[in-house]
Structure 1
Amino acid sequence: MTLPQSRASTPGRDAPRGHRVRPACLAAISLLVGAALPFAGDAEGATASRAAGLQIRVDPGANPSAATAGREIVVATLEEAVARLRQWRRTGRDGEGAALIAFAGGVHRLAEPVRIEKGLGGRPGQPLILRGAADGSTRIVGSVPLARVDEPVPGGVDPGQRSRVRSYRLPRAAAEEPSINVHRIHPVPAPPLGLEIFDAEGALTPARWPNAGWARLALSPEPPKGAEATDPTILLPEPRAARWREEGDLWIAGYLGQDWSFETLPALALPPAANRLALLGSPHYPLRPKDRFYVENALAELDAPGEWWRDTKRGLVLLIPRTEASGPIEVSLASGLIAIDGASHVRLEGLTLERTRGDAVVVTGGEDVVLEDCTLRWTGGRGLVITDAVRSGLRRSVVTETGEGGVTLTGGDRATLVPGGNFVEDSVLVRFSRLGRTYKAAVSVDGVGARVTGNLIAHAPHLAILFQGNDHEIARNEIYDVVRESSDASAIYTGRDIAAQGTRLTGNFLHDIRPEPGFEVKGIYLDDMASGLNITNNLFLRVDQPVFIGGGRDNTVTGNTFVGSPPAFFLDGRGEVWPGPPITDPKNTVRAAFDAVPATRPPWSTRYPQLAGLLSDQPLAAKRNVFRDNLLVSSGAPHIEAGADPRLQTVEANRTGDVPEAARAPTSAALESILPTDRTGARAFDAFDRVAILSRIAALKRRAGHLLARDGSP
C-alpha cells in the first residue's frame, strides 16, 4: 500500500512537541540463558584475573580487617572499590597488571550510578574486570526494601478490597518525587521514571483501569467550562469522574492517535458533572475515537493483586500483594547502576543488574567495553546504552523486563564510514518494552558497522531490531511473537534515510509474526525509500508481508525461504505518489538525510556509487530492486504496487511450492516438513542445517522456558 509521508513508520517520524509537565542458521548461536545462571568468563578475562595487579573484593558482610591474603582488598560497596581503584591508578603502579573487582554473592545496593571514568579502565589484554560470584548469585540493584506500617486505609478504596490492602513507608526520596511516571513517546528515550514498586517476582502495576486490556476512547465534543481550549478531554464512563476527582497524579497511557505510537500523559479528572478526563498536555497526534488507552494511579482502582498506589500526603505506598508469599517489597531509587564514561578495556562478567528508574548500564566513549554472561532486567529505561564507543557490546547475556528497550548501540563515523564494531551477540532479549511500548527495540543500532548476531528476540508489542546508519550485520537471529499490539510495524525496521546503505540481513529465522485483526505488520520493513540493503538466506515462517520495501532502490532479496508468509515480497513506489514535498525538494526529510552525508565524495562515492548519482537518476523512482533465487512455499507471488515500475526491478529464478501443513503446524513440525526436501525432491533450503535448527529449538525450550513461554513456547 502507499503510505502518506505524514504517517510513515520511522524512529524519526516526528519530534515530540512540548508538554507542560515534566535461524535461519541457528547453528552458530551459543546461548547460555537463565535469570542468573553462572557463566565462565572468556580466556582473556581468566588470564587477566590470574595476573591481576589489584584485586578488590566487594562484600557488604565481610570484615575488612580480615583481608590479609596477598594483594586482596575487601570493601563493603562498589563505590569504595572504585575509589580504591582510582587511588591505585594515581600511584602509577597500574602497569603491574590488570585490576579485578570481585563481588560476593547476594544483593549489592546502589543509590546512584557508580561512575568509571577515563583512566580507570584497563589495557589491551589486561582489562578492568567487574566479576560476579561463580554461582551467579550477585545482584546489583537500585532499589531498597520498604517497612510495612499499620496505617488506616483511605476511604477511597473499594470496601470489598480494604482488607487486602497493605501499607509501606516510602523513603524520603521516593515520597518526594513529583510524580510516579514520566512522559513517554517515540522516538526519544524517556527520563528515569519517578519510582517503581517490586516484590520477589518483579515490578508491580500502578492501580489501573481497566485491570487488563484496553478501554476505548470517546472524545468530548467541546471543552467543558474550566478547561483550557488546548487541553483535549475524553468522556469517562460513569462513575469514574467522581471516583478520580481528588487524584493528583493520574496518568493516561495508550495508542493515542496512531496504532504504532504509544504515549503516556498526565491527566486530571474534571468535576463529576463534566464526566470528563482532561489531558495535561497535547498528545503527539490528534486523538481518534476508539483509540486504546488505560488510566493509572487511581486509588479507587486499587482492586487487583499486584497493584499499588502512592499516598503522596502520608508518604506511603498502598498495595494488594500478588500472594501472601510475594516476598519483600522494594522501591527503585537509583536512576542507573553503572556509568562507564570514556574508560576502555572494561569487562562486566556474571552480574545481574536490575531495579533502576532509568538505564542500567551506560557506556559513553572508550573502546572494548563488554558485558558478558550478565542479566539486565526490571529497569525503567534500557538495559545497556553504548554511545560513541568502539568494539563494545553485549555477549551471552539475558535482557528482560526492561522499560524502554533492551540495548542501544551507537558508534562508528558516518562521514568516513569507519566502523565502530559494536555488537550484541549470542543473547536472549525478551519482554523489553513493558513501559514505553513502541520504537523501544530489543536492539537499536545507529552509526557504522555494528553486529547483531546469534540472538533470540521475542515477546514484545512492537519491533525487535531497529537500525539506522551503514554497513551493519544482522545475522542468525531468531525472532518471533513481536509486533503483538501495533500496526504499520515490523520485526526488523529501518527507514527515512536513503543514504543508510550497506547493511546485511543474513541467516535470520523470523516466525509467527501475525497482526491483530484489522492491523498490518511486516517481517523486515525497509520503510520510506530505505535503499542499498541485502536480505539473503533468511527463513520466514508464518510472517505477514515478510519483506516490505517502501519505495527504495538497490535492495537485494536473494536465497530466502518463505513459508506460509504472503506476499513474500512487496514493493511500492511511494516516492512517486507521496503527498508533500518530493525528494527533489530540500524540505523532504529523506532528502535532508541524503544532504547530511558526503554522498558524492570518497569514501561514500566509491562505497555506494549508485547513491552518488541519486539526484540525476530518477530520484523519485523505486528501481533496481532484486528478488531472485528465493523459495516460496504457500506464500503467494511477489507484489509490486502501482507507482513502482516492474520494468525497473529484477524478479526471476524464484521457486514456488505448496505445503499447507507447514503453514499450520507448530514450529518444529513445520521445519520438519519443509527443510529436508521440497515437493520436487530437491533440497529446499541448502543454506540451513535442519538438525541444528531442530536441536536448537528443543534446547531453548529446555533451558529458557521460563523466559520464552508466554503464549506457548516456539
Structure 2
Amino acid sequence: MKLNHFFLFLLFLLPCTVAGQKQKTYFVSVSGKDSNPGTLEKPFATLQKARDVVSSQRKLHQDAVITVFLRQGSYFLAQSFVLDSLNSGTKQAPITYSAYQNEKVSITGGITISPGKAVPVTNRNVLSRLLPEARSRVLQVNLKALGIKNYGTIQPKGFGRAYTTTAMELFCNKEAMKPARWPNDSLVPIGKVIDPGSIPRNGDFSHRGGKFTYNVQRPARWTKATDIWISGFFKYGYADDAVKIGNLDTTNKTLTTVQETMYGFESGKIFQRWYAFNLLEEIDEPGEYYIDREAGMLYFLPPVGKLETIELSLTEEPLVVMENAAYVQFKNIIFECSRGMGAYIERGRANKIDHCTFRNLGMVAVSLGKGIQMDGFQHTGTGQPTSRIIGNLYGHLYDNTTFDREAGSGHVISNCQIYNTGAGGIILGGGNRVTLQRGDNQVVNCRIYNFNRIERSYKAGVNIDGVGNVIRNCEIYNCPGSAILLHGNDHLIEYNVIHDAVKDGDDMGAIYYGRDPSELGNKVKNNFFHHIGNEHGVIMAVYHDDGACGMEVTGNVFYKAGSRNIMIGGGNDNVYRNNIFIDCPLAFHLDNRLMGWAKGFVAKDGLYEKRLKAVNYQQAPYSERYPSISNYFKDNPGLPKRNFIEGNVFVNVKSLHNGKPEWSYIGKNFILNSDPGFVDYEKMNFELLPTSEVYKQLPEFVNIPFSQIGVQKDQNKKSDVYRQPVRTRRLR
C-alpha cells in the first residue's frame, strides 16, 4: 500500500515539474539591434545573435524551454544559419524558432528591388531585338547601377547530372517568373539527327555535343543572341536535359549543342522535342525575363496586375543548416528566394519543421542527409560524401547502394506547403541499409506541388531513401515527372493523395523504384492516385521497375491513374490486396524481362549479385526479415513469382493484366462495369457505402478510410496548408 502511495505521489509531482519548467523567450526584429537584450521591446537584429545567446543560456539552464520569436519582415541570409549540438534542445526542453503570433516572417536568400527601378526600355539596339508587340511593355532594371553583380551562371540541368544551384532568378509579387522561351507552352520536334553527340551512358566521355536539324522559322530571329539554351526530352521520355547551343546555323537550319546528354540525341518519337530559352528576343508573355550578364541589365515583362514586389535570388548555400542538432523546431516561417535549398539536416535527432512554407527556391525545400561530390558527367560512379549539397547523390547510390547518408533520426517535416521549387520537394534520407536500422524520419501532412520549375524528371516531390522512413497524409501534385522516387527498405507511404503527376514524358511512374532486389519491405497503404499520366506516354501509378521486389500495396484507390495502373517489371513478392481500380485500360502490366533483354542483371557476378552481396543477403538481418531473399539465385531468379493480385475491386477496367499465368497469382477479385456502391462517384469520393455489392462478393474486403486520406486539418492551427489545392487543368 505504501508503495502505491509513493507512485501516486510521483504522478502528482510530474505535471507540477512540467508546469514549473523555466521558459525563456527572445525576440528578433528587422528593426532591432544585436546590442539589445532581445526582449519584445528591445529585440535582437539577427538570428545569429539570438542563436548565440540561446547557446549560452542553455549552458546555464539546461531544463529551460527556449523560444526565439521573429517579428514580421524578411530576414536576408547571405550564408547559412547553422545550428549544431551546441545549439540543441532536449525532449523536455526543445528550442523553437517561430514567427511571433500571426506575423508573416520570411527567411530569404534574395534581395528586394523597388518596383520604381523598373523603367521602359529606351536602348534602340535592345528594342530592335524585342518583338514589336512587346517593345512598349518590357521593363528594364539596371542591376549593375544598383551594385548587383553576382548573376550566377546557367548550367546544364537534367537526367544524370548533379543537383546544382541555379543562376539568378526573378520573382515578382512572390511568384516565380520564367526565363524567356520559345515556344511559350509547347515544344518543337527534333529534326534529323546529324550527330547524336557523345553518349556517357555508353562509355563515351569525349564531351561532344549533338547536332540536329529543325524545321521552323523562328530561330532566324536569334542571330544576335549569344547564350541560348535548349531543354527537352532528347532520347528517352524519362530523361530531360538542358544544354547550351554552341552553333545556330539559320541557313542550313541546324543546331549544335555545347554539351552532350546522357543518352545522346534521337528523333521520331512524340516526346523527342525541345524548346529554347534565355532569349531577349522571346520576351512576349507576362512573367518572362532575360538577364544580360555582360551589361548587368534585367529585362522583363511584368505579371498581370500591379507590380508590387521585385526580388532576385542570390544565396547559394542552404538557408538553414542543422548538423548534429537535436530537438530544434522551426515554426510558421517562410523560406524563399534562394538559388539552392531551403533547409539541410544531417545527423542529430528529433528536429522538426512545422507549419512552414518553402517556395521560390532553386533546388529543393529540405534535404536530409549528405550528398555526393563527383567529378564529370556519368550515369554511375563513386564520389565523395559531402555535407550541405545533394550533388550526384543518385549516381553514387547506383554503385554504392548501402551508402549511409547520416541523416539522423526522428526528424519531422509537418504541415508545410512546398511549391515553386526548381528540382523537387524533399530529399528524405535516414537509416542504415546494412543493419536495417530505421531512420524514422517523416514527411507528414504537407502539400507539395509545382516542384519542377527547372528540372522535370527524377526530381520528385519526395525522394525517399535509407530504411524505415515515412510519407503520410500528404498531397503531391502538378508535376511533369514522379511524385515519389524510392530507394531502400521498410518505408511506409500511406494516406497520401497523389494526382496530376507524370504529366510529361514516357516510361515513368507516380511512385517509382527498381533494379535492386534487396529493396524490400516497403508498404504503400491507403493512398488515392488519380489523373496520372499524359496523352502519349506509357505511365504508371506504381512502377516496380527491372526486377523490383517485396512491396505490399493495400487499401489504395487508383482512378484514371495511368495508361496502366501498375507495372511489375520482372520482380517477385509484390502483393496487391484490397485495392480499388477505376477507369483504366490496363490494371497490371506483368513481364519477365529478367529472362530477356535484362537477363544480364541476374547473371553470375552481375548487378543483382553485387547488390545482394552488399547487404549480406544470406545473413541476418536480411535473411530473418525477408526469408525468401536467401534463396534468390536458387529460385530461378529471372522468373517472376509470388506476385499476388487478390481481393481487389476493378471498375470499368478494360483488362486486368497482360502477363502469363505463372508470373503472378490471381486470386478472387470483383470485376464489374458499374458503380459498386461508392459514396459519390462523380465527386471522386470512392469510399464504399455499407450496402455496397463489394462486401457481398468479397466479404473480407476492408473499407478504405477515404476521409482520412490526404492533408488533415490541424484543430490547433489554421494554416495555408489546409486551403483548397491549386486548380489543375486535366489532360484527360
Sort the TM-score into its range (normalised by shorter chain): 0.7 to 0.9
Quote the Cα distance in structure 2 between the aligned partners of 1:683 and 1:62. Answer: 66
Structure 2 CA distance, aligned partners of 1:395 and 1:693?
15
Residue from 673, 688, 712 that aligns with 1:658: 673
- What residue number does 1:134 align with? 101
- Aligned partner (choices 84, 88, 92) of residue 117 of structure 1: 84
The aligned residue for residue 303 of structure 1 is: 284
Following TM superposition, by how much is the alpha carbon of 1:575 offset from its aligned partner in structure 2, in angstroms? Answer: 0.8
Question: Could you say what secondary structure the match of 2:276 adopts?
Answer: strand
The secondary structure found in structure 1 opposite 2:54 is helix
Q: What amino acid maps onto 2:309 in structure 1?
A: P
Q: Which amino acid in structure 2 is aligned with residue 160 of structure 1? A: E
CA distance in 2, matches of 1:158, 1:597: 60
Report the alpha carbon displacement of residue 632 of structure 1 after superposing the two structures with TM: 1.4
Question: For residues 48 and 594 of structure 1, do their structure 2 counterparts lie closer, same or farther at Cα, with a shift above 3 Å needed?
Answer: farther
**Of 122, 125, 130, which aligns to 1:152?**
122
Aligned partner of 2:209 among 231, 244, 252: 231
Q: 1:60 to 1:713 in 2, by over 3 A?
A: farther
Between the two proteins, what is the percent identity of the paired residues? Answer: 25
Task: List alignment gaps of at least 5 residues for structure 1.
Answer: 1-46
- CA drift of 1:183 comes to 1.8
Residues 482-493 of structure 1: matches in 2 within 5 Å?
482-493=501-512
Q: Choose 165-174 or 575-584, whichever is displaced more.
A: 165-174
1:257 aligns with 2:235: yes
Query: Taking structure 1 as reference, are residues 575 and 712 closer, same or farther at Cα in structure 2, changes over 3 Å only?
Result: closer
Aligned-partner Cα distance in 1 for 2:649–2:351 = 41
Amino acid at match of 2:672: G
State whether residues 229 and 245 of structure 2, in contact with CA within 8 Å, keep that contact through their aligned partners in structure 1: yes
Q: Cα distance, 1:357 vs. partner?
A: 0.5
Query: Which residue pairs with 1:30 in the alignment?
Result: none
What does 1:327-338 correspond to in 2, within 5 Å?
327-335=308-316, 336-338=318-320
Alignment deviations for residues 290-322 of structure 1 (CA, whole Å, 9 cap, x no partner): 522111111111222111111122211111111
Deviation of 1:348 after TM superposition, in Å, equals 0.8
Alignment of 1:169-184 (within 5 A): 169-170=142-143, 175-177=149-151, 179=153, 181-184=154-157
Query: How far, CA to CA, are the matches of 2:147 and 2:212 in structure 1?
Result: 33
Distance 1:50 1:616 in 2: 64
Number of aligned residue pairs: 653
Match of residue 22 from structure 1:
none
Aligned residue for 2:664?
649
**2:69 paired with 1:102:** yes
User: Do the aligned partners of residues 692 and 284 (structure 1) sit closer, same or farther apart at CA in structure 2, a change above 3 Å counting?
Assistant: closer
What CA distance in whole angstroms lies between the structure 2 residues aligned with 1:557 and 1:686? 14
Q: Which has the higher contact order (CA 8 A, sep 6+)?
A: 1
* Cα distance in 2 for residues equivalent to 1:132 and 1:680: 50
Q: 1:511 aligns with which of 530, 549, 557?
A: 530
**Is contact 1:247-1:269 (8 Å) kept?**
no
In the aligned structure 2, how far is the partner of 1:561 from the partner of 1:491? Answer: 17
Distance 2:135 2:530 in 1: 46
Specify the code of the residue in structure 1 equivalent to 2:567: F
Pair 1:84 & 2:53 matched: yes
In structure 1, what is the Cα distance between the partners aligned to 2:234 and 2:246?
A: 17
Shift of 1:599: 0.5
CA distance in 2, matches of 1:297, 1:87: 49
How far apart, CA to CA, are the structure 2 residues paired with 1:571 and 1:524? 12
Question: Matches of 2:656 and 2:520 in 1, distance apart?
Answer: 23
- Aligned-partner residue type, residue 652 of structure 1: G
Deviation at 1:199, TM superposition (A): 0.3
Match of 2:582 among 563, 566, 573: 563
Aligned to 2:327: 345
Q: 2:224 matched to which residue of 1?
A: 246
Normalising to structure 2: TM-score of the pair? 0.82
CA contact (8 A) 2:63 2:93 kept: no
The answer as to whether partners of 1:194 and 1:357 remain within 8 angstroms in 2 is yes
Q: Which amino acid aligns with 1:287?
A: F
Q: Which amino acid is the alignment partner of residue 635 of structure 2?
A: D
Which deviates further from its counterpart, 166-175 or 121-130? 166-175
CA distance in 1, matches of 2:442, 2:529: 20
Higher mean displacement: 200-209 or 653-662: 653-662
Q: Which residue of 1 aligns with 2:650?
A: 632
**Alignment of 1:606 onto 2:627:** no
Letter of the 2:650 partner, please give it.
L
Q: Secondary structure at the match of 1:452?
A: strand
Equivalent in the alignment of 2:6: none
Q: CA RMSD in A?
A: 3.2
Choose 506-515 or 371-380, whichever is displaced more: 506-515
* 1:538-587 deviation line (CA, Å, top 9, x unaligned): 11122232222111111111111112234223321111112562412323
TM-score, scaled relative to structure 1: 0.84
1:399 is aligned to 2:380: no
Q: From 300, 308, 317, give the equivalent of 1:319.
A: 300
Q: CA deviation at 1:193?
A: 0.6
Q: What 5-or-longer segments of structure 2 have no aligned partner?
A: 1-16, 198-205, 370-406
User: Aligned to 1:638, what secondary structure does the other structure show?
Assistant: strand
Using the alignment, how far apart are the partners of 2:224 and 2:727 within structure 1?
40
Aligned residue number for residue 399 of structure 2:
none
